[in-house]
Chains A and B, each alone.
Chain A
Amino acid sequence: MTDTAAASAASETHGGTMRFPANRPLRLDSGAKLAPLEIAYNTYGRLNAERSNAVLVCHALTGDQHVASVQPTTGKPGWWERMVGPDKPLDPERHFIICSNVIGGCMGSTGPATIDPKTERPYGLAFPVITIADMVRAQAMLVEALGVDTLFAVIGGSMGGMQVLQWASDYPAKVFSAICIAGAARHSAQNIAFHEVGRQAIMADPDWRGGDYEQAGVRPEKGLAVARMAAHITYLSEAALQRKFGRELQSDGLSWGFDADFQVESYLRHQGASFVDRFDANSYLYITRAMDYFDLAAKREGALAEAFMGSRGVKFCVLSFSSDWLYPTTESRDVVRALNAAGCRASFAEIESDKGHDAFLLDEPQLDATLRGFLSAQAQARGLA
């Protein structure tokens, strides 16, 4: 494997792609193998001499490896700069922070837009269906290749939180502490239902072309935008939408037509339109599917505690938001209950917020304070402080 690391302006920030050759395939839950494999990643800070300060940040459905550096397509700041950076809870001065694009993604890791070596054309729907466990298995290959045996922390929100739980379940010896924010141990019927709406919107777009849109030189932008609009509503709360937009109009009066009269309509249209510039429709299908298939208790006859029987050495921190109806507090409580039943020491807090699911990405001082407290205590236990 080779590492094509390219140092960015800040000398401590590196971006690169880890390549695993055909003789080191990624074995997928479906039985298929993925090879060769590429994992696009960023790192911030330096691995210390004891190799004890590595933190893996797991991104959510539409996130990427640019957790704390400019997203090259949009030119916007990293998606979690308020959590990762100098004097932030995760600080490159103290931590070696790794964030990789999930497999199936569209920011450089192997996904449906990658060229299939068999056909020398983009995989499209020939890309195998992947799972959260597959994503984590790929991350484990990356982490090992970076010379890290044990991660001081694995942290993520939403789908990132699912990866955190999968890490703690599959690689407990490699995880010192696990922080799952606004996550769940399985996708609920409602979660699957919303994802299905998004997928149907994409596949109903004539430009989707059975997934082979790239060769046709088109993109299912309308379908993907609608998928994003529907999903975006689920990331907010009724209170947040009302506070932000109410019934405010775009201009002085009603148009008596179907233009975006209301500010909330205009906002959603903008969300959809800007999303298609940075995200691939097939990746959206594959990653939402991986989330839908996620159920840590499935292979254990529904007993979630069984998933954590080997995880007693891991320090868990589970956080939810009071207004999150997509991954509600009850889901996090189920995780905590299972951790308790498995004899794991877990901390749990429900953070008061009216910002809905997306609160983990937004300005929530209570979240920062809670994470700072947990991380500094763990750092002390790990001998990092």
Chain B
Amino acid sequence: MTEVREDFREILRLVRPGARLLDVGCGEGELLDLLVREKQVDGQGLEISQAGVSACLAKGLAVVQGDGDRDLDDFPTGAFDYAILSKTLQQMRDPAHVLSQLLRIAEQAVVSVPNFGHWRVRWALVTTGRMPETRALPEPWWSTPNIHLCTLRDFIELCRELDLRIDACAALSGGMPARPIDPEHPWENWRSETGLFLLSRRNAAPRAPAPVDLLGDVIAPIEPAPRKRRRA
């Protein structure tokens, strides 16, 4: 598994074997295929591009051509154990609606978001006075698909407002092995390039930890701290 993307590897670790799973924006189905083979999940993909859909079908994956912004509404409540949204929340027209939908149709959601609070981003903005172009966010402002960028703190704040609980969080940086983090820690908003979150509804019963958790560690659910403005 040496060539597996780090975020895929993390997701693979988080997901229970045999789970029902929806991969939103599944592309050509690399992650879904991996999950089906390694975790025997009952998987379904949602993909906007015809080429992606055809590639998924050829892999034997169940895939629906559709748009995460609009078509999540069509899935029944509680249809899945997990919904995965990898690095595309910031491209959605209505991220709050998408997050709510993910946790309507699935018990837990795995969501990764690039962190606009990362020091490289802040440094680029401060020193050049122009929209940052970094390893994680390489496009210029006028052609980027990322229309709703946020920092880790922004994301945590949105989860709080939507009444979502962060069950686990890991930081991903440029292909380095994932690092379990406390996303509330002020440093993480500086040094995490991408945050990968396992979310559930706050009123949902806590789930037993996955057999193998992040990096083999068992992480207790992280309750977001009470509202308090911290500078970071």
Compute how far the CA of A350 lies from the CA of B74 in the bound complex, rounded to whole angstroms: 16
Q: Which of B59-67, B94-102, B131-139, B151-159 contacts A (4 or more CB under 8 A)?
A: B59-67
Structural contact, B60 and A345, CB atoms closer than 8 A: no
Structural contact, B74 and A333, CB atoms closer than 8 A: yes
Which of A337, A347, A349, A381 meets B74, CB within 8 Å? A337
Which of A337, A346, A349 meets B50, CB within 8 Å? A349
Structural contact, B58 and A373, CB atoms closer than 8 A: yes
A99 at the interface (CB under 8 A from B): no
The verdict on A372 contacting B58 (CB below 8 Å), with A340-B76, A345-B44, A366-B50 known, is: yes
Compute how far the CA of A343 lies from the CA of B57 in the bound complex, rounded to whole angstroms: 19
Residue of A nearest to B56 (CB): A347
Structural contact, A374 and B57, CB atoms closer than 8 A: yes
A351 at the interface (CB under 8 A from B): yes
Structural contact, B58 and A376, CB atoms closer than 8 A: yes
Structural contact, B54 and A340, CB atoms closer than 8 A: no
A interface footprint on B124-149 (CB within 8 Å = 1, 0 otherwise):
00000000000000000000000000
Residue of A nearest to B57 (CB): A373
Compute how far the CA of A341 lies from the CA of B78 in the bound complex, rounded to whole angstroms: 10
Compute how far the CA of A370 lies from the CA of B66 in the bound complex, rounded to whole angstroms: 16
Structural contact, B65 and A380, CB atoms closer than 8 A: no
Determine the chain B residues whose CB is within 8 A of the CB of A349 once the complex forms: 50, 53-54, 57, 63, 65
B123 at the interface (CB under 8 A from A): no
* Nearest-Cβ distance from residue A360 to partner chain B, whole angstroms: 16
B75 at the interface (CB under 8 A from A): yes
Structural contact, A370 and B57, CB atoms closer than 8 A: yes
Determine the chain B residues whose CB is within 8 A of the CB of A333 once the complex forms: 74
Structural contact, A345 and B42, CB atoms closer than 8 A: yes
Structural contact, B62 and A347, CB atoms closer than 8 A: yes
The verdict on A377 contacting B44 (CB below 8 Å), with A343-B79, A366-B50 known, is: no
Compute how far the CA of A254 lies from the CA of B64 in the bound complex, rounded to whole angstroms: 50
Q: Report A301-323 residues with CB < 8 Å from chain B CB.
A: 315, 317
Give 10 nearest A-B pairs by CB, closest first. A377-B60, A373-B58, A373-B57, A345-B62, A348-B64, A341-B76, A337-B74, A349-B65, A349-B53, A374-B57
